[in-house]
Amino acid sequence: MAPDRAGNADGAVAFNGTDSALVYTLPFFPQQVYTLSAWVYPEDLSRDLQQIASAWCRSMDDPLRLCIDHGALAAQIEAGNSYSTQSIPLEPGRWYHVAMVKDGARLVLYLDGEPVGHTTVPVIVHSSATDLGIGFNPHYSGGERFQGRIDDLHFWARAATADEIKELAAEK
């Protein structure tokens, strides 16, 4: 546990970048629409790929990947091909509200309540994924672990609206 974005002791979860992680097992992974939203506090952005959240279960079967790679945030899906939004540079040592929304054929990346990247993805993503890894890739032993804090993470099997994401980002 670690201080959250409001300074409350033990309000956030700390990830050390080496062996800390959380896994949530889902009954199924949504095929057409979903939203992942969280407050993140990255600490070391010089590292290679760090998964804030990932549902990877095998090669080309990763219906959700919110990651930081060499200091830049992106939302990604692997489903037969790789799909990625634009990468947005972050700074270490500050809180960001991040979200990714899959709504049919559109994947949108939000930063601090504003859309900052998007890409076209398959409308339906067939996946065997059921584990949602927080702070790491749940079925990959090669690292990809997040170093920092995560607070107030949400995952919904629906596409949040831009106004809803803006409201989540305004909650300090």
Q: What structural domains and CATH numbers belong to the chain?
A: 13-170 (2.60.120.200)
pLDDT bucket at 168, cuts 50 / 70 / 90: very high
Q: Has this prediction a pTM greater than 0.95?
A: yes
Q: What is the dihedral of CA 35, 53, 131, 127, to 10 degrees?
A: 60
> CA 44, CA 140: separation in Å to the nearest integer?
21
**Structure tokens of 103?**
């709504």
> CA 125, CA 140: separation in Å to the nearest integer?
20
In this model, does residue 71 exceed pLDDT 80? yes
pLDDT bucket at 170, cuts 50 / 70 / 90: very high
pLDDT bucket at 87, cuts 50 / 70 / 90: very high
| CB distance 74 to 86 below 8 Å | yes
The whole-number pLDDT of residue 172 equals: 77
Work out the percent of the chain whose per-residue pLDDT is above 90. 96
- The mean per-residue pLDDT over the stretch 92-102 comes to 98
The whole-number pLDDT of residue 142 equals: 82
Residues 6+ apart with CB under 8 A from 59: 78
- The mean per-residue pLDDT over the stretch 41-51 comes to 95
